[in-house]
A and B are shown apart, each in its own frame.
Chain A
Amino acid sequence: MPERLSILIAEDSAADRMLLATIVSRQGHRSLTASNGLEAVALFEQERPQLVLMDALMPVMDGFEAARRIKQMAGEELVPIIFLTSLTEGEALVRCLEAGGDDFLPKPYNRVILEAKINAMDRLRRLQDTVLQQRDLIATHNEHLLNEQRVAKAVFDKVAHSGCLDAANIRYLQSPYALFNGDLLLAAFKPSGGMHVLLGDFTGHGLPAAIGAMPLAEVFYGMTAKGYSLAEILREINAKLKRILPLGVFCCATLLNISFQRRVVEVWNGGLPDGYLLRAAGGARVPLISRHLPLGVLEPAAFNDAYEVYPLELGDRIFLLSDGVLEACNKQGELFGEARLHEVFAANRQPARLFAEIQQALAHFRGEPQDDVSLVEVSLVEEGALSRPPLAFAGSGQGSPLDWSASFEFRGETLRRFNPLPFLLQLLLEVQGLRPQGGALYSVLAELYSNALEHGVLGLDSTLKCDAEGFAEYYRQRSSRLARLGEGYVRFHLSVLPEPGGGRLIVRVEDSGPGFDGRAILEQQLALDSLCGRGLALVRQLSERCTWPADGRGVSVEFCWQAGA
């Protein structure tokens, strides 16, 4: 039994009205009757029947006009109108349909056909009803989804934009909703003044792709600010993502560690397309190839944090891209691919136009713009050219201890696996007076530690680093000797002394190596602006005093501060 309908009958002949009302009632529906168009319109407005039987020719207002008005009032809802007509010529029947009629029934009436038409129109009406309901439901869901994304994005932006993407040496391009394509771009200054940059691409789309971005960003910013190294940050991110993400969800990523002072970049690429080191001189493009599985795939014990190290010159640029570029697909199903990207590189004359040219090439290739592309470019500039915020310090802010000393000795096993710098830095920054110099302090500690470890304990020769090949060789030897390290130590002796109006920190670093001729090294370093160490010169520049004993075993540096500074 179909639903009981209200059916409006507009017919000027009283006999026909009666006949139609009887048929409709016998079919189980409720009938409303009007004797002209105007009455029909009024009755429609008042009773909102679901279906109308409309005589075409009536006094006062004819059926055509009444049909137009009723259709207008009905709006999106389908109120089927069946015209009742003795008109037979084609043109008149067309007028019925043009006025909004859905069907017509010729006079004299055939009960069986009328009933069948009412049933057919009722099916259509219910179909339209369902479509409208579903449309509204989808619209509501979509509204909710967009709203949730807005909230999620606002929260995420607070975390993601706490970094330094707006630094003068970074250029980037990202869709505002890249997060929901799974793309992630982070950059942060290190305490030593260098910079970490991460471009990531999570599997999938939508919220599942965005959800891992938050913990990743927290680890990246938190550990970078505390002075952890690239390898340590990678290990932690991998372990965290492996632990919290469902199997099969992971993050392809490239992480860069750029040191402006030492003019090197460390690169780790797991699963992103080749990035490029674009040389300012000569225009060479050195590919930065994916050597690893993406983050979040391997168990911590199997994770490989080996990175590559490249020397940089002023003006060198590092370019990274997400797979949206290479996998852009045209109507023939071809992929944009690396060859087309290289054509864009080769044709590029003004570096500042590179991103725009890549976008143009993509739009030209696809026939429409592509909006899920992430591009970033970081250049090597003079460190002084960047304005960096003061070192953030999440400490108690309470009074600081001012008269103490402590010594640490880090031995073989520890030197192989552990980076003591974040730990030492956190300890020293408990001294409030040192906080404004936190960056310089970190740089000096980092230099002294790597000198002690690399030259003292590992016995590496920094003159190796005089050209690009030697440079790579140096870092290869560093990691193989470190892996085999058994004996050896690096000692830090820290003492903090109160002074009138302020205080002084003295750091003495010693190692198990044979010692070195500091003066000769310093002279050599000052003379050469080469790839090999600028380290000791830098330490001299950044600290208050820098001295070493005649036997070359150990270096001592001092920092002092004024109270209230």
Chain B
Amino acid sequence: MAITSLPSPDGQELTIVIQGRFDFGAHQEFRDAYERINLSPKRYVVDLKGTTYLDSSALGMLLLLRDHAGGDQAQIRLLNCNPDVRKILAISNFEQLFQIT
């Protein structure tokens, strides 16, 4: 599992890329990805292209990001979900909180 974060050139958007399993083991690394940067992006993108699996702890971590990004005002897109990941997000009805594309 590896997590990288890439700010856009204008600093308005932060893309967090998650490789491999997204579960409790990723907790600290995921937080670091958005807490340890010296900018306040307006939008966030979580790229799940390389994410093979996602568990309920990962859903919890996404909620933490949402809170960090402004709660109900947060703009967060979840990109490139594979069918397994999409299914888990759908069961939890996370499309009510995140833009899933």
Taking beta carbons and an 8 Å cutoff, which residues of A are in contact with B? 182, 201, 203-205, 247-250, 252, 270-273, 290-294, 297, 323, 327, 329, 333, 335
Contacts and interface: CB of A to CB of B under 8 A. Distances in A.
- Give chain A's interface secondary structure class: loop
Contact of B56 (A247, A290, A323, A335): A323
B55 A333 contact: no
10 contacts: A204-B57, A247-B60, A248-B63, A249-B60, A250-B59, A252-B56, A252-B92, A270-B93, A293-B94, A333-B52
Given A204-B24, A327-B55, A335-B84, A271 B60 contact: no
- Give chain B's interface secondary structure class: helix
B67 A247 contact: yes
Nearest to A202: B56
Contacts of B91: 252, 271-273, 290, 323
> Nearest 3 pairs between A and B by C-beta?
A248-B60, A271-B92, A203-B56
Contact of A293 (B56, B57, B67, B93): B93
A335 B56 CA distance: 15
B12 to A, nearest CB: 25
A291 B93 contact: yes
Interface in B41-77: 52-53, 55-57, 59-61, 63-64, 67
Contacts of A204: 24, 56-57, 60
B96 interface: yes
A201 B56 contact: yes
Highest count of chain A CB atoms <10 Å: which of B53, B63, B64: B63
Nearest to A201: B56
A292 B55 contact: no
Highest count of chain B CB atoms <10 Å: which of A182, A272, A293, A333: A293
A297 B56 contact: no
A157 B46 CA distance: 40
B97 interface: yes
B81 to A, nearest CB: 15
A44 B66 CA distance: 65
Nearest to B67: A247
Contacts of A290: 90-93
Nearest to A304: B96
Contacts of A293: 92-94, 96-97
A292 B93 CA distance: 6
Contacts of B96: 293
A270 B96 CA distance: 12
A292 B67 CA distance: 19
A291 B93 CA distance: 7
B25 to A, nearest CB: 12
A335 B55 CA distance: 12
A323 B57 CA distance: 13
A252 B89 CA distance: 12
B60 A203 contact: yes
